[in-house]
Chains A and B, each alone.
Chain A
Amino acid sequence: MTTTAPTARPPRGRLLDPRLAIGVAIVLALLAASLMTGVYDVVGAADGAEMFAITRIPRTVALVLAGAAMAMSGLVMQLLTQNRFVEPTTTGTTEWAGLGLMLVMIAVPTAGILPRMLGAIVAAFVGTMLFFLLLRRISLRSSLVVPIVGIMLGAVVSAVTTFIALQTDMLQSLGVWFAGSFTSVLRGQYEPLWIVAVVAVAIFLVADRFTIAGLGEEVATNVGLDHRKVVLLGAGLVAVATGVVTVVVGNLPFLGLVVPNVVSMLRGDDLRSNLPWVCLVGIGVVTACDLLGRTIIAPFEVPVSLILGVLGAIGFVLLILRQRRRG
């Protein structure tokens, strides 16, 4: 039996606690605001209800799914690498997904959303595994070097993507695809995003194994866990989440990094009881950023990736400085 459920353990943080209810209430309020925000008057107009169903509901659902999935992907990568600064944008995973997406677009210009997603997922998986492989082969002296190497790796991949895009005159469309935005999320286009709901559930179920695998191959083997399988599973889940979100929504930079770190700063490092919070805060942050993007220059929109890119960068810098203070 590989499942270990130790009976004598110090009590862990409870999965459900009253504060979670308050958090849920806040996020629900944000989501309601998201449903009601927009140029079109969904209450007054004759076809209001239909517009509501075509644009507002899909958009809000997409916010929930993408936010939760990316935040949890970041957490999985942090667990597997035991490094706080790792997430899809600091490991090249996002860039790989973009490369896969573009290759499919070039090979089959008329490709539907499913083949495109498949291309992005496969490439993201290759990229994530490559990064894990690098980490295993390299002994790192500073935890800060890991994201530096990951970002440089991402730069290499995006140089390849840019080169191909330049050769095929797709450079500007490239920017449009990768800039994460929920503007174009409509009924009939966003449904594949439900796949990431499955990923989120899977992460809930196996999160403890990621923690053990992150302690190293020896430790994992010692407790009877197949290290390789867990890493493959983790990379696979992250790849699916990143691939799907990149194709349907676009790039959501730094979300997977800032959210889990903020949660563990506020609540400590107990993974099990943090998971719902990571999910919730991820949704909340994406929704808040999207709302901000929709209102600051209304009736135009600022893509959520810009807001996340700027706010996330600030959050990231604060985290680094915090780590530095601890020494």
Chain B
Amino acid sequence: MLAGTTATGAAATEAEGRASGPFPTARARRRYRLVVAGLVAVAALIALGLLAWDNPMPLGSDGFWRIAELRITSLVVMAVVAVAQGVATVAFQTAAGNRILTPSILGFEALYVAVQTSAVYFLGAAGISAVQGVPQFLLQVALMMGLATALFGWLLRGRRGSVHVMLLVGIVIGGGLGSVSAFMQRLLTPSEFDVLSARLFGSVANADAAYLPFAVPLVALGAVVLWLRSRRLDALALGRDVATGLGVDHRRETMLVLLLVSLLIAVSTALVGPMVFLGFLVATLAYQLSGTYDHRRILPVAALLGFVVLGGASFVMRHVFSAEGVVSIIIELVGGTVFLLVLLRKGRL
């Protein structure tokens, strides 16, 4: 049986006249297609479920669509976050040459928490609405991008530029910001703190439909440009020396990838709040499921998986456990556990 399948695989390779391609065997290619088809089907089911489940109106009626419309916003938000986090994490891990890192640790979430906390600290419970609105949203995105660009420009330039140094400095600056936020949070009244704490965890409910006309194109832009550069990402994954030997301008390419990554993560964070391990979870699963090095094939799988994870968790939490508020925390816990497992299983970093 086993010998039979191996022979078929080898014969298929032979028949194609020793082609290279992203998959070593025809079986791997079929498996990839099945995975994508399966993910698309599950994603569609989840989308339908989120729209139709518990919808008191009969499917297809006017009333049904009126209720569904209200839910579409959160569906779009999930899609935006899924694409942003999935694509950004895969690209980031390639640029950093390390599959256990996530771009969220660059200090984005610390900056976000600091902005939200200082709003409540200085303006009271009403302050939270002061950081809501389209200009404020764009300002936050710009602030995070500014921080990221400053970090890259400072630590990736020059002869001694190093992704690891840049990352660690980003984390530590985030930690410093975190201390300031923690101090301000201590001084809030419990009711102010309650208002704030809702904003401190990633939640689809944090997003305002008014942000979407800006968030969707920005994320689409980042994701598409990264996808178009897939072949260079493939080369980057071989490491600095090999990539340079193949004629890729390693530093320039890394900078560009990281800038696009920070755009995606900044939009996602400003939209729904911090999600540290969603991207990690999705990227790790995407490598396993796609079974190829080819970024043109990994990136879509990561985006789809992001939607399945985020949508699936929302659906289960809302309709099975009636605890929608903890969706992101559950994802964080699962992602964190996977992070630990990967650390323990992997031989090298």
Contact = CB atoms under 8 A, between A and B. Distances in A.
Direct contact of A and B (CB under 8 A): yes
Interface of A: 85, 89, 133-134, 137-142, 144-145, 147-149, 151-153, 155-156, 159-160, 162-163, 166-167, 171-172, 175-176, 178-179, 253-254, 302-303, 305-306, 308-310, 312-314, 316-317, 320-321, 323-325, 327
A89 B172 CA distance: 11
Contacts of B332: 159, 163
Given A156-B277, A163-B333, A179 B172 contact: no
B165 A134 contact: no
Contacts of A155: 105, 276-277, 336
B185 to A, nearest CB: 5
B93 to A, nearest CB: 13
A170 to B, nearest CB: 11
Interface range, B side: 35 or more
Contact of A309 (B165, B175, B186, B348): B175
Interface string B156-187: 00001010110111011101101110110110
Contacts of A306: 179-180, 182-183
Given A153-B340, A159-B276, A306-B182, A144 B173 contact: no
B168 A313 contact: no
A141 B336 contact: no
A142 B164 contact: yes
Contacts of A152: 100-102, 105, 339
Given A178-B182, A305-B182, A310-B180, A324 B349 contact: no
B3 interface: no
Contact of B179 (A144, A151, A310): A310
A152 B335 CA distance: 11
Given A137-B344, A159-B336, A327-B160, A253 B183 contact: no
Given A142-B164, A148-B164, A152-B105, A309 B176 contact: yes
Interface in B179-200: 179-180, 182-183, 185-186, 188, 190, 193, 197
The interface centre, meaning the residue of A85, A133, A139, A317 with most chain B CB atoms within 10 A of its CB, is A317
Nearest to A323: B165
A114 B197 CA distance: 31
A160 B197 CA distance: 16
A149 B336 contact: no
Nearest to A327: B160
A145 B169 contact: no
Nearest to A139: B348
A147 B168 contact: yes
Interface of B: 98, 100-102, 105, 160, 162, 164-165, 167-169, 171-173, 175-176, 178-180, 182-183, 185-186, 188, 190, 193, 197, 201, 276-277, 326, 329, 332-333, 336-337, 339-340, 343-344, 346-349
A224 to B, nearest CB: 29
Contacts of A305: 179, 182-183
23 contacts: A138-B347, A139-B349, A144-B168, A145-B164, A145-B349, A147-B168, A148-B167, A149-B100, A156-B337, A160-B333, A160-B336, A162-B329, A163-B332, A166-B201, A175-B182, A176-B186, A179-B182, A179-B186, A303-B183, A309-B180, A317-B172, A323-B165, A324-B160
Contacts of A133: 344
B156 to A, nearest CB: 11
Contact of A303 (B178, B186, B347): B186
Contacts of A159: 276-277, 329, 332-333, 336
A144 B165 contact: yes
Contact of A313 (B176, B326, B346, B349): B176
B267 to A, nearest CB: 21
Given A145-B349, A163-B326, A313-B176, A172 B182 contact: no
A324 B336 contact: no
Contact of B329 (A134, A142, A163, A175): A163
The interface centre, meaning the residue of A134, A144, A312, A321 with most chain B CB atoms within 10 A of its CB, is A144
The interface centre, meaning the residue of A89, A137, A140, A313 with most chain B CB atoms within 10 A of its CB, is A313
Contacts of A324: 160, 162, 165
Contact of B164 (A144, A160, A163): A144
A145 B343 CA distance: 12
Contacts of B162: 144, 324
Given A137-B347, A175-B182, A325-B160, A85 B333 contact: no
Contacts of A254: 175
A321 B182 CA distance: 27
Nearest to A181: B186
A167 B329 CA distance: 11
A156 B349 CA distance: 18
Contacts of B165: 144, 320-321, 323-324
